[in-house]
Amino acid sequence: MNLNEIKQLIDIVNGSDLQETIIEEGNFKIILRRYSPNATHQATAVQVQTPSTPAQPQPPATLTHAVKPAPVSDLIDSRSPIVGTFYQSSSPDSPPFVAVNDIVKKGDVLCIIEAMKLMNEIEAEVSGTIVEILVENGQAVEYDQPLFRIKP
């Protein structure tokens, strides 16, 4: 993969709601990840790996969204089991399933993720209090992306 192809990949990620993209081609691996060191939501990390070179972050490029910081040790991340679009409620006119400081029980519906025109209800895996909602309504989410932080 050459520099122009990498620049094209960055442009594609810039134009999407993806938070992280990993591309592997034989022994070559590139990871494009959004982050925001000062909450300005304008940075990305590019990490390239080949068998002879260890992973090294490259200079940031401008993006529009950010990956949230690592979870606090006593909180549990509720993660997306699929790739799709995140919805906080069952319809635009309905109230959100949960909000920050809501108490949830194991099995309560937290959100819906639309994938291939199917609406998938995402349920709480633990009982506790919603501490943080990590994605916005209508945002594209990746597999295993944290959606909520719950304090058990």
Q: What is the pLDDT of residues 4-16, one digit of tens each?
A: 777 777 777 777 7
Low-confidence spans in the chain with pLDDT less than 70: 1-3, 34-73
Secondary structure (3-state) at 141: strand
Write the single-letter amino acid at 115.
A
Q: Does residue 50 fall inside a structural domain?
A: yes
Q: Looking at the domain assignment, is residue 52 inside a domain? A: yes
Residue 88 lies in a domain: yes
pLDDT digits (tens, 9 = 90+) for 73-102: 689 999 999 999 999 999 989 999 999 999
Number of domains composing the chain:
2
Q: Is residue 67 domain-resident?
A: no
Q: How far is CA 98 from CA 87, 123, 125, 130, in A?
A: 11, 11, 14, 8
pTM of the model: 0.53
Say what the pLDDT of residue 41 is. 42
**Per-residue pLDDT, 34:** 67
Q: Which domain range does residue 36 map to?
A: 3-57
